[in-house]
Structures are given as C-alpha cells and as structure tokens.
Structure 1
Amino acid sequence: MDYSALARSYNTLSYTNQLRDLLAAFFQTDKYKDCNKFELAKTVNDAVFKNYDGEQILKYRLAKEFVTKKYVAAFEVKAKTSRTDFLVINGDTKSFEVKSKIDTLNRLKKQVEDYGDVFEYNTVVIDKTHLEKVIELIPDYYGVWYYEKLKKVVYREAKYSPKINAAEQLTLMNKKELQKYFGSTNNEQILKNCNAAQINNTLKQALKDRYDKRWSFVQTNWNSILPIDLQFFFNTNVKPEIIYGN
C-alpha cells in the first residue's frame, strides 16, 4: 500500500466525513464509519508513522528530544535562501536539517552553507541510507544523527560553526525586530555600532522572543497533539480540542 499517498491526502483541518472517506478508500473498508474525528486522525497518524518514511516522522522525533528541555524551538525557520527544518535556541542556536528516506540530497550543499553562516551548531538528521553520501556533502563541523527504530544514533557531534557571519545573521531579523533590539533598521550602521558577539547574542534573544509563545503552546499541549499534526499546532496555536472535536 502507498502510505505516502495517505500522508499527502491527510489534512489536519479535514472534516470528520472527509477522514472517513479517506480511510474507507485507502483501506477498502467501512469499519471507520462510526469513529469520531480524533479516532480517525489517530488512525491515519498511526498508519503513517508505522509505514511511511517521510520527514514529519523525523521532525516529530526531533521535537520530542527537546520538548521537556529549557529551549525555545521552531519549525521551518528561514535562513538566507534556505529554511531549516527545526531550530532550538537557548544559550546557543542549533539547527537541524531533515533528510528522510524519500528525500533527495540535491539542495543539501547549499542548505548547509546557509545554516553555517547564521547558526552556531548545525546537524543533519537523516535516514541511515543517506549516511555515506551526506558525509561527502557536509563540512566537518556539521553533526549527523539518524534513528535506528526509536533509538537516536549520534554519528557525529556538531561543532561550533567557523563560518558565522554577523551581516548574514542580521538578515534573519525583520525590520520590526531590528528596530526593537538595535534601535535601527540600517544593517550597515548596526554592523558599525555592534561587534559580532553582540549581534550573535541579540539574534538568539530575538529568535527566542519570536517563537517562545508558539513553542510553549506545543509544550503545554504535547500530550493532546497527534504527532502528524505537530507542525500545524505550532503554527496556529489552536486548542487541540477545537480541531479534534468537530
């Protein structure tokens, strides 16, 4: 069975009857006709997580690593022309780029360059099938994780990026954030007035402030959120009972 089709067809905002139709068509059965929305969504979630090797499985495992720790975390954070899959911020910034079994590595070289310019510690989280090729593509300061069943394997620890660039870090902040933290939206002027360490530390504070509320919501509601819906709830902060209750 093509569980990738099930994963692609699922939508957190689908109505109960739409989920019933989806499961009936996929599994060729009517046994879900009396299930409520949460039960239907959980059926999709369980089937996808058991049989599919897509990126949402690795993203969920990453989030689970940090949900009880004193970090602020975020999904899909823009960095130059790339977008890191998962970022955690506290005393340092840690980016994680996910490459699942079904992902290609075509953009990885550009992605690792972008993240290395702006984040302190950077790791690629992969399906083990990519290991040999990934090692060829990434610089030595990058970490590599993969999972064997549910066990995290740290193949290589991330080292502090030697490529940190203060000018590039400023581009991660919008004008409102630049004005708030530096009193100016002129990047050239900020670079004259502040050293690299000040800019790096300010970026961390800005990112923590930007994502703290959304990540705190995920932490508070973790046990009520299905893994397949995690990024939706991070983005929207809608109460799970509202989504699953209709």
Structure 2
Amino acid sequence: MKVYDKDIRKMLLEKFLTIKDFVSDPATKLIYEMDICIGSARVDIAVVNGKMYGFEIKSERDTLERLPSQVEAYNKIFDFIILIIAEDHLSKIGTMVPDFWGLYSVKKNKEKAYLVRKRQAKKNPNVDVFFLSQLLWKEELLNLLYNNGITKGVKSKSRYQLGIIAVENIEREYIADYVKSTLKSRKGWKAVELQQLCDGSHLL
C-alpha cells in the first residue's frame, strides 16, 4: 500500500489527541503550512500552546533535498521538532537532523500504516528570538514594544526593524512567551483550535 502525506497527517491528528500537553490546554492551536524565518521555510504542521512544536513530514513521495535547509530554519523557531519519515528514508538521514529532534517512522503492512517512535524529542537549545518575533504581525510587535515602555519612533519602523529593537531591549524569555500567547489568541488567520481537531477535514 502507498502512504501519502494526507495519510500521515491523519495519523498525526490521532497522535495529537493523545498528547497531554495538547489536550489539557483548550487554547492549543494547530497551524498548517506555516511560513517561518521571514518566509524562507514552511513547516508542515506547527502546534502552539505554552511551547512551540514543529512537525515535518517526509512521505515516500518526498525527497530529502530540502531537509538540511529546513533543519536550519526550524531550529530557530520551535521548542520541540519532530520528523515523521517514511521507513524507506530512514537509512538516508544519517546525521542530517540533530539529536534533539524527535523521529517517527511510518511503517506499514498490507492492511494499514502506523507511526513508530524512533527517538523522543528534546528541548531545542537554538531558538532565535529575533526569528520568533518575525512570526508576529506589525501591530503585535508594536504592542510588545509598548508593553515594555518602548514607544519613541517605533510606529514608522518595519516589522524587521521592530524585531531588532525588541531583541535589543526586552528579555529573551519575555519575547518568546509573548509570541506564543499572541499566536494562541490571534484571530482571523489559518490556525485550527483544539476543539476542531476531531474534524479530519482540517488535515486534508
């Protein structure tokens, strides 16, 4: 049997519904095909609650050509990163992904496919708060600065410039927490709330 990207996404949905950190927070958001690092990469699925999780899928039909650049980008954004990979690709990844990345293989028999965890994800030590700040809309970045008493001359700045100002003047952890809470509460974008997770149509 062939296992396609959409099949793996459905399996991931079932997995998400068993993860305590996800289901215990009704404000947990899923974002599909989320642009990161100023548009230089796009993660298959991001999950945002008190932490940020990135899930990258490599099905049988995918190549690993983009994986090195994806590793570089994802390491700047996500607290935890998980690669879900077709079993045929396992022998090819070698040292392409860091040891702190989680790893699942997609195994299959004649009747069904299923996920097998090969490695538990560990906390990413390389998050870059500047690139985190660039996930925010300009108004959200301005609010971050205003909340920290930084008001002079900022309204005319670009989003990129506002990110630099934030990183130079605000504690790293504060910025990271603000980004996560803002993404969770943001309205009018493509995130899917936890209450909608049981609707498989969101993963197609």
Matched, 1:58 2:18: no
Q: CA deviation at 1:67?
A: 4.1
Alignment partner of 1:187: what SS?
A: helix
Contact 1:60–1:230 under 8 Å retained in 2: no
Contact 1:72–1:215 under 8 Å retained in 2: yes
Alignment partner of 2:122: what SS?
A: coil
Number of residue pairs the alignment of both structures matches: 177
Matches within 5 A, 1:1-246: 51-67=1-17, 69=23, 70=25, 71-80=28-37, 81-149=40-108, 150-183=113-146, 185=159, 186-210=162-186, 214-216=191-193, 219-220=195-196, 222=198, 225=199, 227=200, 229-231=201-203
Q: CA deviation at 1:221?
A: 7.2
Which amino acid is 1:77 matched to?
A: M
Unaligned runs of 5+ in 1: 1-50, 233-246
- Quick one: distance in 1 between partners of 2:5 and 2:35? 18
Contact 2:79–2:127 under 8 Å retained in 1: yes
The Cα offsets for residues 181-226 of structure 1, whole Å up to 9 and x where unpaired, read as 333652222112211111111111122123798423x73473xx4x
More helix by share: 1
- Quick one: distance in 2 between partners of 1:84 and 1:118? 10
2:150 — aligned with what?
none
More strand by share: 2
Which amino acid is 1:79 matched to?
A: I
Q: CA deviation at 1:111?
A: 0.3
- Quick one: distance in 2 between partners of 1:196 and 1:100? 36
Alignment partner of 1:98: what SS?
A: strand
Greater relative contact order (Cα < 8 A, sep 6+): 2
Unaligned runs of 5+ in 2: 147-153
Q: CA deviation at 1:140?
A: 1.4
- Quick one: distance in 2 between partners of 1:214 and 1:94? 14
The Cα offsets for residues 19-75 of structure 1, whole Å up to 9 and x where unpaired, read as xxxxxxxxxxxxxxxxxxxxxxxxxxxxxxxx5422111122212222462332121
TM-score (normalizing by structure 2): 0.76
- Quick one: distance in 2 between partners of 1:131 and 1:213? 32
Which amino acid is 2:116 matched to?
A: V
- Quick one: distance in 2 between partners of 1:231 and 1:220? 11
Instruction: Return closer, same or farther for 1:135/1:214 CA change in 2, 3 Å cut-off.
Output: same
Alignment partner of 2:94: what SS?
A: helix
Instruction: Return closer, same or farther for 1:215/1:67 CA change in 2, 3 Å cut-off.
Output: farther
Identity of aligned residues (%): 27
Report the RMSD for the aligned CA atoms in angstroms.
2.4
TM-score (normalizing by structure 1): 0.64
Considering only CA atoms, is the larger Rg found in Structure 1 or Structure 2?
1
Which amino acid is 1:115 matched to?
A: Y
Which amino acid is 1:105 matched to?
A: L
Contact 2:32–2:191 under 8 Å retained in 1: no
